Amino acid sequence: MSLLRNLARRRLRTALTVTGITIGIWALVVFGSMANKISAIVAIGSDYYAGKIVVTDKSGGLDGDSPMAIALVDDIAAIGGVAAAVPGVSTLLDPASNSGISMPDMVVGALPGADHGKNMYDARVAQGRALTAEDADSLVAVLGSDLARKLGKGVGDTVEIRGMAFEVVGILEPTLTAPDTTAIVPLAAAQAIYLGDLPPVVRENVRADQLATDITVYPDAGTDVEALAARIEAAIPNASAMTGAEFDGVVGSSVAIFNAIIVGVALISLIVGGLSVINTMAMSVAERTREIGIKRAIGGSRARVIRELVSEAGLIGLLGGLLGLGLGAVVVYLANEAGRGSGMALFLLTPQTAIFAVLFSTILGVVAGIIPAWSAARLDPVAALRYE
Amino acid sequence: MAVIEGRNLRKTYTLSRRNEVRALRGVDVSIEAGELVAIMGPSGSGKSTLMHLIGLLHSPDQDHGPAPELSLGGRDATRMSDGARTRIRAREMGFVFQQFNLVPTLTAVENVMLAGEYAGLGRRQARERAIARLTTVGLAERATHRPSELSGGEQQRVAIARALVNDPALVLADEPTGNLDSHRSAELLGLIRKLNREHGQTFVLVTHDAEVGAACDRIIRMRDGLVQAMELVREPTPDDVGEAAA
Ligand SMILES: Nc1ncnc2c1ncn2[C@@H]1O[C@H](COP(=O)(O)OP(=O)(O)O)[C@@H](O)[C@H]1O
Ligand SMILES: [Mg+2]
Q: How confident is the model at residue A270, as a pLDDT? A: 77
Spans in chain B with pLDDT lower than 50:
240-246
The one-digit pLDDT tens for each residue of chain A (388 residues) are 578 888 888 888 889 999 989 999 998 899 889 888 888 878 877 887 888 888 888 775 544 457 888 888 888 888 888 888 889 888 888 877 655 555 678 889 888 877 777 776 767 888 888 888 888 888 999 999 888 888 888 899 999 888 889 999 999 988 777 788 889 999 989 988 888 888 888 788 888 888 888 898 888 888 888 888 888 888 888 888 888 888 888 878 888 888 888 888 878 887 888 888 888 888 888 888 999 999 999 999 999 999 999 999 999 999 999 999 999 999 999 988 887 665 567 888 999 999 999 999 999 999 999 999 999 999 999 989 887 6
B20 lines ligand 1 (CB under 6 A): no
Give the 3-state DSSP-derived string for A231-268, with helices as H, strands as E and coil as C: HHHHHCCCEEEEEHHHHHHHHHHHHHHHHHHHHHHHHH
Residue of A189, A198, A177 whose CA lies nearest to A110 = A189
ipTM: 0.91
Q: How confident is the model at residue B244, as a pLDDT? A: 44
Give the 3-state DSSP-derived string for B170-191, with helices as H, strands as E and coil as C: EEEEECCCCCCCHHHHHHHHHH
DSSP class per residue in A287-355: HTHHHHHHHHHTT--HHHHHHHHHHHHHHHHHHHHHHHHHHHHHHHHHHHHHHHHHS-------HHHHH
Nearest ligand, measured from the Cα of B175: 2
Q: How confident is the model at residue A83, as a pLDDT? A: 86
Say which of A5, A290, A381 has its CB closest to residue B100: A290
CA B228 to chain centroid: 21
d(CA A181, CA A343): 7
A256–chain B Cβ distance below 8 A for any pair: no
**A 304-343 residues with CB < 8 A to B:** 304
B23 lines ligand 1 (CB under 6 A): yes
Longest dimension (CA), chain A: 97
Give the ranges where A72-164 is alpha helix by DSSP (H): 72-77, 145-151
Give the ranges where chain A is alpha helix by DSSP (H): 2-9, 11-49, 72-77, 145-151, 187-197, 200-205, 225-235, 244-287, 289-297, 302-342, 351-377, 381-386
Instruction: Enumerate domains of chain B plus CATH numbers.
Output: 2-245 (3.40.50.300)
Residue of B138, B222, B208, B136 whose CA lies nearest to B173 = B208
| Cβ within 8 Å, pair B97-A294 | yes
d(CA A281, CA A14): 10
Residue of A359, A43, A74 whose CA lies nearest to A175 = A43
d(CA A120, CA A51): 8
C-alpha to C-alpha distances, B42 to A139, B45, B46, B222, nearest whole angstrom: 108, 6, 9, 8
Q: How confident is the model at residue A103, as a pLDDT? A: 66
**One-letter amino acid identity for A97?**
S
CA triple A253-A259-A260, angle to 5 deg: 90
d(CA A143, CA A122): 14
d(CA B194, CA A204): 115
**B 92-121 residues with CB < 8 A to A:** 93-95, 97, 100-106, 110, 114-115, 118-119
Q: To test the ligand 1 pocket, which listed residue (B47, B48, B53, B98) has its Cβ within 8 A of the most ligand atoms? A: B48
d(CA A40, CA A43): 5
d(CA B161, CA A102): 70
Polymer length in residues for chain A: 388
B83–chain A Cβ distance below 8 A for any pair: yes
Interface test with chain A among B15, B107, B114, B171, by most A beta carbons within 10 Å: B114
- Tens digits of per-residue pLDDT, A66-111? 788 888 888 888 888 888 888 988 888 887 765 555 567 888 988 8
Cβ atoms < 10 Å from Cβ of B181: 11
- B89 Cβ neighbours under 8 A, 6+ residues apart: A297, A298, A299, B55, B56, B57, B95
DSSP summary character for residue B204:
E
Tell which phi-psi region holds residue A238, choosing left (phi > 0), alpha (psi between -120 and 50) or beta.
Answer: left
CA B65 to chain centroid: 27
SS3 B150: coil
